[in-house]
Chain A
Amino acid sequence: MIASKRETVIGRILLILLMLWTLMPFVSLFVTALHKSGSYPAGVEWPADPQWGNFALAFQSAQMGALVWSSVQIVLGVVPISLVIATMAGYAIGHLRVPGHKLLLLLFVFGLTLPFEGIITPLYYQIRDFGLLNTRWAIILPLIGLFMPFSVYWMRAHFVNMPAELSEAAEVDGANRWQIFWRVHVPLARPALSSLGILLFLWTWNQFLLTVVLVNDPLKRTAAGALGAFQGQWGTDIPLLCAGSLLIMAPTLLVFFIFQRQFVAALLQGSMKG
């Protein structure tokens, strides 16, 4: 490969600038979080007397423990159910090719570009009529439905490439169709499933609109929804707001850094297919 020295250097500088552009906001947030609660510091300024206690204070007032547990419950409600039913549907549409599978696919694809704001109003009345307002179910049930277009599309893309011989061989061995699906096809779908799982986790954890409209209690919301409530409450105390925001973001960032390879791959694939 012919790469001139100058190009390499410019490339490196650009990369560093890009990283700075991404990270500077967090540096500013972190440094500000160390200033005295209630003060109004400059954008980036190391405090004379770092107030590490702000994090403890924010931890308490945001009720971090309860908040993370709430988000975890919502994720546990949304992700496993979505994965199972989307896999089943993707299998029927992509592999079994039930009569009308093209129409079914089209019906799901139609929902791919839907802005959630488009249906939030009737969704509110529907959830109210179900008696589920202000419960976590108000977030879990609609999210499963809203994630179906992407999830089914994604799993169908996997199953459409699976050779029919696979099922035929299993059938000769005497497996029934549920066993063929569960023992043969689901294990083979693991890579597709884990990427989808990561994406659904992120989208659930970060879901804001549904939580704002359907759930008043911040402790029954997602992390993003709780963050919104925290800003409403502490918006005027900038150091504390910064500390709280960092804390509420911390679990996501931690999970991201642990599984960074999988996350980056999933997000790139996700947008390519979506």
Chain B
Amino acid sequence: MSQPPAPSHPSWDRPSPHFGSRAVGARRGGVHKTSPRRGRWIGYLFVVPALAFYLVFVIRPIFLTVQYSMYDWNGVTRATWVGAGNYLKVFADPTLYGPVLNAFELIIFFSFIPITLGLVTAATVRRIAESRLAGLARTIVFIPQVIPLVAAGIIWSWLLASNGLVNQLLRAIGLGGITKAWLGDFGTALPAVGMIGAWVQLGLCTLLLLAGMSKIDGSLYEAARLDGAGPLREFFSITLPSLRQEIVVCVTVTVIAALSSFDIIYISTQGGPGNSTLVPGLQIFYLAFSENRVGLASALAVTLMVLVLAVVLPIQLLAREDNE
């Protein structure tokens, strides 16, 4: 690691002209031809530890998942090669593709509802964002982000129980007729689980959007007011377009949370009743560790990883284009 001071070679960390084309690099390219190659290569020592952890505990397992997915293996005896057989099952068996569809339905609750409500709230609250009440709210609405998702699952399992707060409130406003055990009913379990996700994500989305709104030039609004624009007009022609970046972030974060959900559902419904709230993460867990169908679990895992990338990459690319 240590290296004798080399004041005569001040350029060991000079970015190479090929790679450092931006601000810092371009400045003095080619002045010191003495740039010691050894010096630049020593920089790799700084990357090695992080790279080692990443390769051993992330990249290698990714390749292994792909490998497992092409075998029929119970985790103990010899595996047999089945090629794409497991993938064909994933696309043909409703207990395997059903969870994927459920995960997509959860996007409505994890992403769409929090972002819509967050937009409305942030737009309404924008003018009093500096008040003391807003300061307090900023802390409070963050609590669901801080507690473990498992805790959110436990809390809401109780709230949504037949004797819980949700039904108590419904009875109080005269809707006693529709009370039920929300998480135990085939028709309502998935939306109920989704509501837990909405509870977790709402605060984060609201605050992200509010932070974005504070960057909008106030004079834009004043000009709009003078032109006689109402709050609605203001929202669609100023607020919404200026928030593109923040909305993209909210969508990315919440969509990943929906597609790869596990904790909340493991705690609140275990995927039931039936398979009505089963999601890919939970099904992978069951297949691999309860049913010992490692190959099939891995095929579903690969499908999940590809799906997340396929949904997130276009969103990111779109956002990038807008920036340039």
Contact = CB atoms under 8 A, between A and B. Distances in A.
Interface in A159-200: 163-164, 167-168, 171-172, 174-178, 180-181
Nearest to B301: A118
Contact of A98 (B43, B75, B148, B253): B43
B289 A124 contact: yes
B142 A264 contact: yes
A2 B225 contact: yes
Interface in B95-124: 121, 124
Contacts of A248: 151
Contacts of A245: 151, 154-155
B182 interface: no
B46 interface: yes
Interface stretch (B6-14, B84-92, B186-194, B236-244): B6-14
A11 B154 CA distance: 31
Contacts of B20: 97
Contacts of B159: 25, 28, 43
B275 interface: no
Contact of A18 (B15, B206, B246, B305): B206
B82 interface: no
Contacts of A157: none
B145 interface: yes
B1 interface: yes
Nearest to A143: B57
A97 B15 contact: yes
Contacts of B155: 25-26, 28-29, 245
Contacts of B206: 18
Contact of A115 (B64, B289, B308): B308
B16 to A, nearest CB: 6
Q: Which of A84, A89, A111, A117 has the most CB of B within 10 A?
A: A117
Interface in B167-215: 167-169, 199, 202-204, 206-208, 211
Given A19-B140, A208-B262, A253 B127 contact: no
B144 interface: yes
B315 to A, nearest CB: 10
A178 B3 contact: yes
B285 A164 contact: no
B2 to A, nearest CB: 6
B124 A7 contact: yes
Interface of B: 1-7, 10-16, 19-20, 24-25, 27, 39-44, 46-47, 49-51, 53-54, 56-62, 64-65, 68, 75, 121, 124-128, 131, 133-134, 136-151, 154-156, 158-159, 163-169, 199, 202-204, 206-208, 211, 218, 221-222, 225, 231, 246, 249-250, 253, 256, 259-260, 262-263, 266-267, 280-281, 284-285, 288-289, 294, 297-298, 301-302, 304-305, 308-309, 312
13 contacts: A1-B222, A16-B133, A84-B49, A91-B46, A102-B19, A122-B61, A172-B7, A178-B3, A208-B150, A224-B263, A245-B155, A264-B139, A271-B250
